[in-house]
Amino acid sequence: MTIKPIETRPFDDQRPGTSGLRKKVRVFEQPHYLENFIQSIFDVVDATAGGTLVLGGDGRYYNREAIQVILRIAAANGVARVLAGRGGILSTPAASCVIREHGAFGGIILSASHNPGGPDADFGVKYNIGNGGPAPADVTERIYARSREIDGYRILEGDDVDLDGAGPFMLGETRVEIIDPVADYTSLMEKLFDFERLREMLTGADFAMRFDAMHAVNGPYAAEIFGARLGAPAASLLRCDPRPDFGGLHPDPNLKYAKALVDELFDPAGPNFGAATDGDGDRNMILGREFFVTPSDSLAVLAANAHLVPGYADGIAGVARSMPTSGAVDRVAEKLGIDCYETPTGWKFFGNLLDAGKITLCGEESFGTSSNHVREKDGLWAVLFWLNLLAASGRSVSELVTDHWREFGRTFYSRHDYEGVDSDGASAMITALRDALPSLPGRRVGDLEIVSADDFAYTDPIDGSVAENQGIRIGLAGGGRVVMRLSGTGTEGATLRVYLESHEPDPARHARDPQQALAAQIALAAELARIEHHTGRDAPTVIT
């Protein structure tokens, strides 16, 4: 087999966003586009020292083709060993687990996460480092800089690797091992949770759950863990056959895109527990009977009750949440006497804190929760954690959460997304807000008083790196907040995210509908940011 140098010209749009490089499949299918980006990774990361690379994806359209290309480029760049998920499959948390278990120098994960899949939809490439987590910004910026000047890549000529075969295969000097995508991950889950107790609960007559894999990567993981190991009835596992286009749906586990599951759980005679995960398996949505748990509350409840779960019985070192995530977990940390960190949006910012042992649990309002067991958010882990809490406490989902509110107060929370708006209008809106920041504190809008306003900047407490312009943060008297930022994961136009939050200590006022409880915050955001003027929209496209 020969290594072929190919001349190429740089593309100018390969800057990774919140979570890797995400583009339309058609963009990735352009000649040399994927190759350039992969070569840029290998030019930045030294892959020649005899190490192992982990490779897999969420199974979406173009996954297998991309894996064949990446294997050949890896071989031409002197990677000694590649661990590839069978069928090209690895969920994001499983890839993180495999990188850590096998001491790999890094991994390439192919996914556009919760974005739709198919020939006209989205694809993505993410590079993770040796701790199993997303590459930090200095690495992604170097990869981007390289992609702007690249003039060639190296690729091995040869046949495709049989991703469904037993392996190992040799690609030139590179050994490609085909691994069971669920094995390492399942063993890790068995170490953290009380599988015996879970099995008892899931096979019992008075417990019914529904898990919706949304035709995405977690199907086989759920079949193994909930089905084979824990004995959950087949009828409780929904859409567990992964499809390249996710069945034509949006694999995003929220109130809008997992509506069938939500409807089932909101039936008064419905199951006790419902959950869904996203395209690449790192997001989760938790539902009880007639009850939706906001991701911010979920993180707070997990932190407050972690001692009930075997893997966390010794207590937690600290917690972290992304800036737009509600302050519910902060109150738990205060009570536990542990540190709570506020980081920018995106999982890469948790990595250093986890590595340094500063935090055990962390989460984002965007349906992401996880712990120090991997360096990615982890959908199935969150579902198992909740199940373990139900089994150990004997309480229902709604009881656990409403008890929590009684103890800590309720943090009403909602996110309003304005998807696919005009990029220039959205940028102009953020710029205008930024310019107005100094004039905001002290101002009243309706009944709300603004006490602080800034553009969030973060200095990493471990390595001192600084991330600026991470979102407009408006603090309100009484502990409420309005946060606004632009998405860094979209592939079309811009998406404005408006995060709304208020704190209510009085249990008599906990049963309100969040949209009503947050009406004043919603009005404040519209007025201050002039959302309709800048975006032409008078309502959000998704409310969670």
From the list Co ion, ligand VG1, none, partner contacted by residue 489 (C-beta under 5 to 8 A by kind): ligand VG1
Chain residues 316-375 in contact with ligand VG1, contact rule CB under 6 A: 322, 345-347, 364, 366, 368
Q: Whose Cβ is closer to Co ion: residue 278's or residue 330's?
A: 278
Q: Which of 43, 252, 280, 330 binds Co ion (CB under 5 A)?
A: 280
Using the CB atoms, write b or e for 206-217: b if 16+ within 10 Å: ebbbbbbbbbbb
The item of Co ion, ligand VG1, none sharing an interface with residue 487, based on CB under 5 to 8 Å by kind, is ligand VG1
- 212 part of the interface to ligand VG1, by CB under 6 A: no
113: DSSP letter = T
Name residues whose C-beta falls within 8 Å of residue 233's C-beta, 6 or more positions apart in sequence. none
Residues 278-307 vs ligand VG1: string with x where CB under 6 A? Answer: x---xx------------------------
**Among all residues, which ones are annotated catalytic?**
113
Q: Is 488 in the site for ligand VG1 (CB under 6 A)?
A: yes
Coil/strand/helix, residue 212: strand
491-530 residues in contact with ligand VG1 (CB under 6 A) are: 497
Which span (5-13, 108-116, 151-159, 319-327) binds Co ion, by CB under 5 A?
108-116
- Two tokens at 99? 């990188």
Is there binding between residue 470 and ligand VG1 (CB under 6 A)?
no
Task: Write each residue from 308 to 347 as x if it is in contact with Co ion (CB under 5 A), else as -, in one continuous string.
Answer: ----------------------------------------
Using CB under 5 A as the binding rule, whether residue 252 contacts Co ion is answered as no
By the 10 Å C-beta count (0-12 exposed, 13-18 middle, 19+ buried), 432 is classed as: middle
Query: Which CB sits closer to Co ion, 278 or 504?
Result: 278
Task: With H, G, I as helix, E, B as strand and everything else as coil, classify residue 247.
Answer: helix
Type of residue numbered 374: V
Which of 39, 388, 489, 544 touches ligand VG1 (CB under 6 A)? Answer: 489
Footprint (CB under 6 A) of ligand VG1, residues 95-124? 113-114
CA dist., res. 148 & res. 166, Å (int): 38
| Residues 52 and 19 sit within 8 Å (Cβ to Cβ) | no
Q: In what order do the strands lie in the sheet with 318-322?
A: 339-343, 318-322, 361-364, 368-371
Tell me which stretch binds ligand VG1 (CB under 6 A): 172-180, 276-284, 469-477, 521-529: 276-284
- Is residue 19 close enough to count as binding ligand VG1 by CB under 6 A? yes
Length of the chain: 544
**How far apart, in whole angstroms, are the C-alpha atoms of residue 414 and residue 40?**
39
Alpha carbon distance 262, 372 (integer Å)? 30
Amino acid code (one letter) for 96: S
Torsion of CA 88, 89, 94, 96, to 10 degrees: 30
Q: Tell me the number of residues near Co ion by CB under 5 A.
A: 5
Which of ligand VG1, Co ion, none does 411 bind, CB closer than 5 to 8 A by kind? none
Between the two ends of the chain, the Cα-to-Cα distance in Å is 52
Least CB distance to ligand VG1 at residue 105 (A): 22
Adjacent-strand bridge partners of 274: 210, 287
- Which residue of the chain is nearest Co ion when measured via CB? 113
Query: For 287, phi and psi rounded to 5 degrees?
Result: -130, 145
3-state secondary structure 507-543: HHHCCCCHHHHCHHHHHHHHHHHCHHHHHCCCCCCEE
Least gap, CB of 284 to Co ion (angstroms): 10
Under rule CB under 5 A, residue 376 binds Co ion = no
Q: How far is the CB of 406 from ligand VG1 (least distance, A)?
A: 28
List the one residue out of 47, 92, 304, 116 whose CA is nearest residue 185. 92
Rg of the Cα atoms in the chain: 23
Q: Does 18 bind ligand VG1 (CB under 6 A)?
A: yes
Q: Which does 366 bind (CB under 5 to 8 A by kind): ligand VG1, Co ion, none?
A: ligand VG1
Q: Which residue is nearest to ligand VG1 (CB)?
A: 113
Q: Which residue ranges make up the site for Co ion (CB under 5 A)?
A: 113, 278, 280, 282-283
Q: Which residue ranges make up the site for ligand VG1 (CB under 6 A)?
A: 18-19, 113-114, 278, 282-283, 322, 345-347, 364, 366, 368, 487-489, 497
